[in-house]
């Protein structure tokens, strides 16, 4: 069975029936000191630490610490004052093997928060959360957490011994991304958080209709109350600690555009999810995890799927409001870029997926590329050449076009992401599970190897264990399945019952082992990857997780996910070996004038647009995203000198509905300006 690069026609009325593709890039990062200029902390008792300088003060402090441990007869976190890092011996660890390469700080003792102390710990240490409760940190891979109350931007934490600490560069193509998505947390999806949607069936099938339903329910307590309860409980600090303990070193966090801004008529909860995204950044910092931010929703919808905010219609770069929606998207991307490029966050948020799963064949590849060139120039004008996060582009369900040597040549740190799922193939593979465990090796390895050989960094932004579509609400809220023939729009053959695949509590050891082998071959074939997703919520109807093939966390608990992802190495053998072991990523800043001229913005043609296009002039105040607040510590809020006004509606002008802009008339007042947003970025 060949895998499907172009998604099938919508099966469940444009739900997550073609969740395939996201981006990431490759690049040998320049060495840069962390914002806090600190080096690796001392480790908890029993851990192997980096080599220390042979100074009397070090030995004295270590001896004192050892005596203290013996006296109290317990393992406690290590406290020390951070001395400015000596960079003379720092170098990253290569993927797959432990490393102790960074210079350690000199401990000076003391545990007074007013004396610049850091609390850190490894396996078995006690972590105190912001609410005062505690949990035990279990990490058998040499990882350690760091929290510095005197300098909350300390980047010394390390997820595992084989992953570089945050204050050392990540070497794309050398260090291996082993990541997991935090889907369904800040962007709500029916199959990930079914308990939110179940009380509002059948009217709630995306976040737009769910928000309307909750707001209309007087007994709900209001939209903010309901969603904040979800945000604060669905993913917590302990999840980040568990992710590091699982051998994973990156997280991909989907974020909606309304975390930045929205129009008054849009029902989404504005800006509240940003507060929890800030928590994600700080928890990543604490546990040594790197973060890929993914802008999962786009004004007007970029694909018509339920996880784009509103299902059915595509109005981004399509229809008479297509340009205006693209301008709004640029506003959001610019505000986020400015924030994550600040010194305090750049070592954590190292990659920015600017648009999740755009339907490139429905939007048009030429128009989409014009937007990408404009977006690239805007971002790099803001950050400066060679600075800011990697730009990750989803392959738009056209892997070949996005990984061609002719696609945006010379872009500054550009990565491509593919979302690969067997569950959305047409038709589904009728073979039993045990005969599908090596399909990733034979179907996916070649594309990743050939791209890396040509210096194009490609990652799997999403994949799962779903070898069928048996996952509750996967094809849409209250929809059925193709596998068992219960999806109303499906006319193909029935393969079997979904009941066994909705309840993992009954799985045999053989089933679990086959699923584990499917996971290992997927990881080995993709090389750099993010599993979709970390957690699936339980159904309020059954009290169970009824999409177990999609939950990494549940897989660890029940024994069908590998406890050490490094064991994936070699699972595919030599089924499709790379032609070279070297990797020279594309990191230039040299998009040619000819390429820009061939892809102007606004695009020369927007699909399904008739007559005049609506657009916004650059008259709006730029949105500066707020920083987290720390007790007793002032966080600077800065903005780039290249900052310009946002695109904004003309005052007093009534624009067409941005979510239904195909074939509508545009008033003369809504035409705005169409000048190029930014000039070519300069070094």
Phi first, then psi, for residue 225 (nearest 5°) are: -60, -45
Helix extents (H) in 341-364: 360-363
- Distance between CA atoms of residues 663 and 46, nearest Å: 68
Any idea how long the chain is?
Answer: 683
Residue 104 has pLDDT above 60, yes or no: no
CATH number of the domain bearing residue 525: 3.20.20.80
Same domain, 474 and 338: yes
Phi first, then psi, for residue 629 (nearest 5°) are: -105, 135
Starting at the edge strand found earlier in the chain, the sheet holding 145-147 runs 78-81, 117-121, 145-147
Same domain, 79 and 217: no
- Concatenated DSSP letters of 100-137: --SPPP-------GGGTEEEEE-TTEEEE-TTS-EEEE
- Tell me whether residue 620 is in a domain: no
Q: What is the pTM of this model?
A: 0.84
Same domain, 275 and 182: yes
Same domain, 193 and 129: no
8 Å CB contact between 530 and 296: no
Average pLDDT of span 617-640: 82
* Most distant CA atoms of the chain, gap in Å: 82
Q: Which of 147, 166, 190 is the last residue of a domain?
A: 147
- Tell me whether residue 217 is in a domain: yes
**Average pLDDT taken over every residue of the chain:** 84
Q: For the chain, what is the domain count?
A: 2
Average pLDDT of span 484-513: 96
Phi first, then psi, for residue 558 (nearest 5°) are: -110, 5
Which of the two residues, 426 and 317, has the higher pLDDT score?
A: 317
- Tell me whether residue 627 is in a domain: no
8 Å CB contact between 393 and 402: yes
Same domain, 452 and 494: yes
Residues 266-294 pLDDT 10s: 999 999 999 999 999 999 999 999 999 99
pLDDT given for residue 586 in this prediction: 74
8 Å CB contact between 375 and 333: yes
Same domain, 246 and 143: no
pLDDT given for residue 587 in this prediction: 77
Q: Which of 534, 568, 602 is the last residue of a domain?
A: 568
Same domain, 310 and 369: yes
pLDDT given for residue 149 in this prediction: 86
Average pLDDT of span 293-313: 97
- Confidence bin at 5 (pLDDT 50/70/90): very low
Interstrand relation of 529-531 and 250-255 (parallel, antiparallel or unpaired): unpaired
pLDDT given for residue 633 in this prediction: 80
pLDDT given for residue 498 in this prediction: 98
Residues 32-59 pLDDT 10s: 333 332 233 333 333 333 333 333 333 3
Same domain, 242 and 139: no
- Tell me whether residue 578 is in a domain: no
- Confidence bin at 579 (pLDDT 50/70/90): confident
Same domain, 294 and 373: yes
**Torsion-angle region of 174 (φ positive above 0: left; ψ -120 to 50: alpha; else: beta):** alpha
pLDDT given for residue 326 in this prediction: 98
Q: Look at the block and give the residue holding tokens 């902390």.
A: 41
Quote the domain boundaries for residue 101: 56-147
In the DSSP assignment, the letter for residue 630 is B
Handedness of CA 283, 288, 293, 296 (dihedral sign): negative
Q: Which of 125, 147, 169 is the last residue of a domain?
A: 147
Same domain, 196 and 314: yes
Residue 161 has pLDDT above 80, yes or no: yes
- Tell me whether residue 132 is in a domain: yes
- Confidence bin at 635 (pLDDT 50/70/90): confident
């Amino acid at each position: 069975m060949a895998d499907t690069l172009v998604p099938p026609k919508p099966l469940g009325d444009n739900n997550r029936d073609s969740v395939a593709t996201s981006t990431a890039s490759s690049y040998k990062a320049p060495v840069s000191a962390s914002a806090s200029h600190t080096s690796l902390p001392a480790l908890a008792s029993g851990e192997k630490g980096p080599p220390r300088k042979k100074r009397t003060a070090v030995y004295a402090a270590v001896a004192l610490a050892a005596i203290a441990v013996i006296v109290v007869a317990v393992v406690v976190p290590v406290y020390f004052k951070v001395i400015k890092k000596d960079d003379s011996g720092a170098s990253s660890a290569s993927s797959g093997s432990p490393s102790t390469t960074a210079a350690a700080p000199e401990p000076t003792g003391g545990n007074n928060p007013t004396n610049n102390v850091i609390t850190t710990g490894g396996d078995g240490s006690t972590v105190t959360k912001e609410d005062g409760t505690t949990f035990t940190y279990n990490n058998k891979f040499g990882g350690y957490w760091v929290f510095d109350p005197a300098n909350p931007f300390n980047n010394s934490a390390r997820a595992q011994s084989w992953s570089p600490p945050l204050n050392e560069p990540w070497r794309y193509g050398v260090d291996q991304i082993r990541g997991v998505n935090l889907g369904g947390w800040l962007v709500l999806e029916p199959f990930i958080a079914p308990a939110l949607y179940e009380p509002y069936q059948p009217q709630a099938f995306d976040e737009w209709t769910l928000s309307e339903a909750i707001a209309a329910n007087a007994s709900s307590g209001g939209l903010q109350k309901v969603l904040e309860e979800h945000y604060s409980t669905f993913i917590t600090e302990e999840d980040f600690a568990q992710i590091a303990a699982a051998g994973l070193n990156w997280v991909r966090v989907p974020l909606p555009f309304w975390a930045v801004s929205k129009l008054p008529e849009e029902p989404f909860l504005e800006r509240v999810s940003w507060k929890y995204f800030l928590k994600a950044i700080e928890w990543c910092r604490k546990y040594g995890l790197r973060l890929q931010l993914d802008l999962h929703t786009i004004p007007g919808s970029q694909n018509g799927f339920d996880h784009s905010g509103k299902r059915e219609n595509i109005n981004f770069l399509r229809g008479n409001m297509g340009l205006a929606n693209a301008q709004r998207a640029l506003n959001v991307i610019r505000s986020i870029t400015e924030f994550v490029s600040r010194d305090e966050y750049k070592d954590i948020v190292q990659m920015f997926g600017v648009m999740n799963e755009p339907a490139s064949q429905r939007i048009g590849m030429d128009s989409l590329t014009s937007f990408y060139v404009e977006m690239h120039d805007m971002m790099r004008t803001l950050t400066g050449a060679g600075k800011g996060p990697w730009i990750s582009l989803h392959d738009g369900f056209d892997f070949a076009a996005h990984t061609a040597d002719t696609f945006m040549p010379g872009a500054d740190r550009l990565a491509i992401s593919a979302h690969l799922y067997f569950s959305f193939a047409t038709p589904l593979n009728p073979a039993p599970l045990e005969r599908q465990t090596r399909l990733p090796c034979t179907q996916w390895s070649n594309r990743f190897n050939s791209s890396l050989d040509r210096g194009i960094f490609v990652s799997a932004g999403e994949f799962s264990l779903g070898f069928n579509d048996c996952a509750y609400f996967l094809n849409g809220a209250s929809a059925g399945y193709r596998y068992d023939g219960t999806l109303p729009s499906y006319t193909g053959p029935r393969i079997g019952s979904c009941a066994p695949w909705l309840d993992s509590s009954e799985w045999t050891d053989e089933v679990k082992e086959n699923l584990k082998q499917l996971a290992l071959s997927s990881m080995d074939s993709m090389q750099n990857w993010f599993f979709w997703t970390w957690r699936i919520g339980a159904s309020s109807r059954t009290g169970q997780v009824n999409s177990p093939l999609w939950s990494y966390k549940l897989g660890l608990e029940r024994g069908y996910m590998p406890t050490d992802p490094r064991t994936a190495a070699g699972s595919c053998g030599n089924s499709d070996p790379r032609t070279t072991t070297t990797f020279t990523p594309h990191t230039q800043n040299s998009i040619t004038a000819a390429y820009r001229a061939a892809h102007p913005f606004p695009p020369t043609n927007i699909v399904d647009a008739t007559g005049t296009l609506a657009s916004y002039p650059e008259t709006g105040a730029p949105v500066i995203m707020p920083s987290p607040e720390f007790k007793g510590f002032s966080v600077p809020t800065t903005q780039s000198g290249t900052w310009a006004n946002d695109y904004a509606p003309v005052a007093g002008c009534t624009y067409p509905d941005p979510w239904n802009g195909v074939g509508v008339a545009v008033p003369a007042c809504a035409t705005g300006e169409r000048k190029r947003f930014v000039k070519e970025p300069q070094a």
